[in-house]
């Protein structure tokens, strides 16, 4: 589904990302871990064409991301709060994203009905604008919005951070289901090793912009990761 | 302790993102400040002699007579422009600094703001002139000190009433009423207030009274802030109750409608964009200056075109100018969503066009000044639609300053407009139509001038698709730079 070729990103003489080759097959739940500054968000921004690669390129479902915009209809993401429109209510925001992705109000409502649990009664009909919601609730809105319109690729940067334990557990279930049942390629980054090992079929460790580990999740993965990060 | 506070303040000023602007913009700002200082100084030195020349009485008494208005205007200006000291208190709350010290510092900081210092440029020279003219020094000093105290009283009144719109509007209404009744000679408020100010001069020991009031106000402001220095109290952000709006009537425009819906909500729900639209609305009346012959300089024939452009282009200039910065806080979303640049730009373009058409209808009252006046407005509207609407979008590609939607900060004298490229683009917006008109005016007759400008506008309109393709290209090229710039708040 996604292929990375000789991708580098440099700022001045500092290389923040350098990936020779990375292939993510369709329907895989893919976890990206690494310390701060490892290049996780840089990679995701490159995937979304928000920054330009210094060399190399990314192919997303046969579309070269920095050349064509044809990847947009089947790719969705939630990176940070700059993906939210602060002056809309959550409902308006969902409908707006829905309209951009060719889904009418009824479609969006049907999708939202599945997330009643996840929202925990704190999102819909709250008479609040997104900018007035708590950070955790904002995140819930952003994550659910990225599921609108049956995307084939979903990119979530640090989805577990800021969420309460109940929501974290629910989100893990949702992500697993997306990959397993609907064949969606889910890319998740996290600082929490337990969460990624639970959710992802494959885990890639970035360190200073380079891939240092590429593991298919198994019983030993957690130990291996801990050993690596303990240094 | 004070050293730390001042150090923080210094850094927050010099390290703010907005401070790092183009050098010549800084020069421009410095010139602006100098201009105001010079004005105040000039008034301070000159006021005495001007009033003496006019022969309406003892200059000091005349000043005293109108002092109440001076103070009232000062209060209004402060209310609208002076920033409140509460910002940046949050990070200090949990540090081992007593709350009193933090509040004292925040309030003390307002004392050295431009709004207080500027008055010194008037009062100091004025007082010196008075003494030089043989007024008893002790009495002048007493009066001077009293005035200073009163202006500082304004400072702390403003601090206390800030964000209390009701108080402000009641006060403003009272003063407007007072001004109007004075003008129509129903009731002269200065008749009652002048003696108070005279008193400070005649018996200079009474200058102590405003200082006592000032101390009281300071203490009041201090107590108020100290009491409300909690995250859920005075430092809390105000939340408005949100209402979901569907605006379904816009659905018929397809994707365009999706964006239009958003833009309407953007304008309605954010302070900054609301102010821009209100400012745009007042442009409609700008033409009155030209067509009533109120200002002689504006009497030339070309100025009518100039007026026409402004009357119908208020929204275009106040809102259109800042596309796409209105969407700066969620630009990454827009760029990674399933959006075509052309649709996004089209929606902004339609918004500008709709506003221009509405302004043109609202401006029909210019018919009162003859059909020629309204013809200028119509021609201006056509030019705005046909040419200027593209130019603002084009210029927008180079405007890379994020807009903070929820605050009015920087709404005045925003440096965005002073970007070299956007400044260059204002030439065709304003100067070109005047030149086109002049050619028609001098070669044939005024009507030909109007027709020439209108034809230009219509031609521009006809080439919409080509122009849009070009603008789209520029936006695409600038995309990464824009994204990068919007990240830096």
Q: A159 lies in which domain range?
A: 2-83+151-230
Contacts of A91 in chain B (CB under 8 A): 244
Cβ contact B265–A88 (<8 Å):
yes
The span from the CA of B45 to the CA of B41, in Å, is: 6
C-alpha distance from A77 to closest chain B C-alpha (Å): 8
Q: Any idea which residue has 């409140």 for tokens?
A: B84
Q: Would residue A50 count as lying in a domain?
A: yes
Domain boundary (B174, B198, B227) is at: B227
Helix, strand, coil shares of chain B, percent, nearest 5, are 80, 0, 20
* B235 found inside a domain: no
Structural domain includes residue B72: yes
- Tokens 């007493």 -> residue: B142
Q: What average pLDDT score do residues A181-204 get?
A: 90
B336/A86 Cβ within 8 A? no
- Whether residue B479 lies inside any domain: the answer is yes
| Confidence class for position B24, pLDDT limits 50, 70, 90 | low
DSSP code, position A157? E
Residue entry with tokens 């996840």: A118
CA dihedral A169, A174, A180, A181 (to 10 degrees): 140
The answer to whether residue A111 is domain-embedded is no
> pTM of the prediction?
0.74
Does residue B296 surpass a pLDDT of 70?
A: no
Q: How far is B34 from chain A (nearest CA, A)?
A: 39
- Residue B185 counted as domain residue: yes
Q: Is residue A123 part of a domain?
A: no
Rounded to the nearest integer, the mean pLDDT of chain B is: 80
Decide if B404 contacts B333 (C-beta within 8 A): no
In a domain, B240, yes or no: no
Q: Which of B227, B259, B275 is the last residue of a domain?
A: B227
The predicted structure's pLDDT at residue B410: 45
The reply to whether B198 and B252 lie within a common domain is no
Asked if the structure places residue B112 within a domain, the reply is yes
- B284 and B221 assigned to the same domain: no
| Contact criterion met (CB < 8 Å) for A87 and B270 | yes
Q: Are residues B392 and B463 in the same domain?
A: yes
**Of B240, B245, B338, Cβ closest to residue A73:** B338
For residue A118, being part of any structural domain is answered with no
Residues B46 and B128 placed together within one structural domain of the fold: yes
Contact B266 A87 (CB under 8 A): yes
Selected residue of B239, B251, B333, B485 to mutate for chain A interface (largest A Cβ count, 10 A): B333
Q: Is residue B278 part of a domain?
A: yes
First to last CA, chain A: 33
Do residue B456 and residue B336 come from a single domain?
yes
- Per-residue pLDDT averaged across B278-304, rounded? 75
Per-residue pLDDT at A107: 92
The answer to whether residues A171 and A160 touch, using CB atoms and an 8 Å cutoff, is yes
**Chain centre to alpha carbon of residue B121:** 23
Q: Of B172, B195, B227, which residue is a domain's last? A: B227
d(CA A182, CA A173): 13
Residue A41 counted as domain residue: yes
Q: Let me know whether B368 and B279 are in one domain.
A: yes
The answer to whether the CB atoms of A72 and B405 lie below 8 A apart is no
Q: Name the pairing type of β-strands A153-157 and A75-78.
A: parallel
- Residue B236 falls within a domain, yes or no? no
Regarding whether B211 and B259 lie in a shared domain, the answer is: no
Q: Does residue A14 belong to any structural domain of this protein? A: yes
Q: What percent of chain B has pLDDT over 70?
A: 85
Residue B406 forms contact with A (CB below 8 Å): yes
Q: Is residue A45 part of a domain?
A: yes
Smallest CA–CA distance, residue B259 to chain A, in Å, is: 8
**Domain count within chain A:** 1
What SS3 state is found at B89?
A: coil
| Span of B196-205, B404-413, B451-460 with lowest mean pLDDT | B404-413
| Per-residue pLDDT at B152 exceeds 70 | yes
CATH number, domain with residue A217: 3.40.50.300
pLDDT band at B234 (very low <50, low <70, confident <90, very high): low
How far apart are the CA of A201 and the nearest CA of chain B, in angstroms? 26
- Compare CB distances from A82 to B255, B332, B337 and report the shortest one's residue: B332
Tokens representing A173 are 């279930």
∠ CA B311-B315-B316, nearest 5°, is 90
Q: Do A129 and B240 touch (CB under 8 A)?
A: yes
Identify the residue whose tokens are 């009824």.
A106
The answer to the question of residue A99 being in a domain is no
Work out the number of other CB atoms within 10 angstroms of the CB of residue B452. Answer: 21
Contact A40, A206 (CB under 8 A): yes
B-chain CB neighbours of A134 within 8 Å are: none
Task: Let me know whether B305 and B266 are in one domain.
Answer: yes
A230 CA: distance to closest CA in chain B (Å): 33
Closest residue to B262, CB basis, from A79, A96, A131: A96
| Contact pairs from chain A to chain B, CB under 8 Å | 90
Mean pLDDT lowest among A179-188, B270-279, B397-406? B397-406
Q: What is the pLDDT of residues B359-369, one digit of tens each?
A: 999 988 888 88
Alpha helices in B162-254 (DSSP H): 165-183, 190-202, 208-227
Residue A115's nearest CA partner among A80, A139, A141 is A141
Strands A185-190 and A153-157: parallel
Other Cβ atoms closer than 10 A to B477 = 11
- List, for residues A98-141, the tens digit of each pLDDT value: 988 888 889 999 999 989 888 988 898 888 899 889 889 999 99
Number of domains in chain B: 2
Domain that holds residue B337: 248-487
Q: Residues B182, B285: one domain?
A: no
Look at strands A202-207 and A29-33 and give their pairing. parallel
Distance from CA of A148 to the nearest CA of B (A): 11
């Amino acid at each position: 589904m996604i292929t990375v070729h000789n991708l580098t990103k440099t700022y001045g003489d500092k290389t923040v990302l350098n990936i020779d080759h990375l292939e993510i097959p369709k329907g895989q739940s893919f976890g990206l871990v690494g310390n701060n500054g490892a290049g996780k968000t840089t990679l995701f921004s490159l995937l979304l064409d928000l920054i330009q690669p210094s060399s190399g390129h990314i192919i997303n479902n046969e579309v070269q991301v920095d050349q064509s915009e044809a990847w947009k209809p089947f790719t969705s993401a939630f990176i940070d709060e700059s993906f939210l429109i602060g002056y809309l209510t959550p409902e308006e925001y969902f409908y707006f994203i829905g309209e951009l992705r060719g889904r009418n109000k009824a479609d969006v409502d049907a999708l939202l009905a599945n997330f009643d649990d996840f929202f925990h009664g704190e999102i819909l009909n709250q008479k609040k604008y997104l900018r007035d919601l708590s950070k955790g609730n904002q995140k819930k809105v952003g994550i659910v919005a990225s599921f609108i319109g049956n995307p084939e690729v979903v990119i979530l940067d640090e989805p577990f951070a800021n969420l309460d334990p109940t929501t974290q557990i629910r989100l893990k279930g949702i992500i697993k289901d997306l990959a397993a049942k609907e064949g969606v390629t889910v890319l998740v980054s996290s600082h929490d090793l337990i969460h990624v090992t639970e959710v992802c079929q494959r885990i890639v460790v970035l360190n200073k912009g380079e891939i240092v580990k590429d593991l298919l999740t198994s019983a030993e993965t957690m130990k291996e990761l801990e050993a690596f990060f303990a240094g | 302790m004070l050293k730390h506070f001042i150090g923080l303040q210094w850094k927050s000023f010099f390290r703010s993102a907005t401070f790092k602007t183009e050098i010549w913009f800084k020069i421009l700002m410095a010139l602006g400040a100098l201009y105001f200082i010079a004005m105040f100084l000039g008034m301070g030195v000159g006021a005495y002699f001007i009033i003496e020349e006019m022969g309406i009485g003892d200059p000091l008494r005349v000043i005293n007579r109108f002092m109440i208005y001076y103070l009232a205007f000062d209060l209004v200006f402060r209310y609208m422009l002076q920033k409140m000291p509460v910002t940046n208190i949050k990070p200090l709350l949990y540090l081992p600094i007593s709350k009193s010290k933090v509040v004292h510092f925040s309030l003390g900081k307002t004392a050295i703001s431009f709004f207080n210092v500027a008055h010194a440029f008037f009062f100091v020279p004025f007082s010196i002139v008075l003494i030089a003219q043989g007024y008893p020094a002790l009495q002048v000093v007493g009066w001077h000190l009293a005035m200073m105290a009163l202006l500082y009283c304004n400072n702390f009144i403003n601090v206390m009433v800030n964000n209390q719109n009701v108080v402000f509007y009641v006060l403003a209404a009272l003063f407007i009423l007072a001004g109007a009744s004075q003008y129509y000679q129903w009731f002269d408020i200065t008749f009652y207030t002048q003696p108070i100010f005279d008193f400070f001069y005649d018996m200079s020991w009474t200058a102590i009274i405003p200082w006592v009031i000032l101390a009281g106000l300071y203490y009041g402001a201090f107590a108020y802030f100290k009491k409300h220095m909690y995250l859920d109290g005075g430092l809390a952000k105000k939340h408005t109750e949100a209402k979901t709006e569907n605006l379904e009537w816009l659905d018929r425009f397809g994707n365009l409608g999706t964006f239009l819906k958003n833009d309407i909500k953007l304008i309605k729900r954010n302070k900054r964009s609301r102010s821009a639209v209100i400012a745009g609305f007042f442009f409609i009346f700008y033409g009155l200056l030209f067509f009533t012959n109120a200002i002689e300089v504006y009497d030339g024939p070309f100025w009518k075109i100039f007026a026409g452009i402004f009357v119908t282009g208020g929204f275009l200039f106040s809102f259109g100018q800042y596309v796409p910065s209105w969407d700066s806080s969620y630009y990454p979303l827009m760029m990674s969503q399933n959006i075509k640049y052309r649709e996004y730009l089209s929606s902004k373009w339609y918004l500008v066009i709709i506003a221009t058409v509405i302004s043109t209808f609202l401006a029909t009252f210019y018919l009162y000044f003859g059909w020629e006046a309204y013809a200028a407005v119509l021609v201006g509207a056509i030019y705005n639609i046909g040419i200027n609407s593209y130019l603002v979008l084009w210029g927008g590609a180079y405007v890379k300053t994020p807009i903070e939607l929820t605050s009015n900060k920087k709404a005045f004298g925003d440096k965005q407009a002073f970007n070299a490229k956007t400044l260059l683009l204002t030439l065709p917006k304003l100067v070109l139509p005047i030149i086109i008109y002049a050619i028609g005016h001098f070669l044939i007759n005024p009507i030909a001038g109007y027709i020439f400008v209108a034809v230009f506008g219509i031609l521009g309109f006809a080439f919409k698709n080509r122009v849009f393709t070009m603008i789209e290209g520029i936006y695409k090229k600038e995309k990464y730079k824009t994204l990068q710039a919007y990240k830096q708040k």
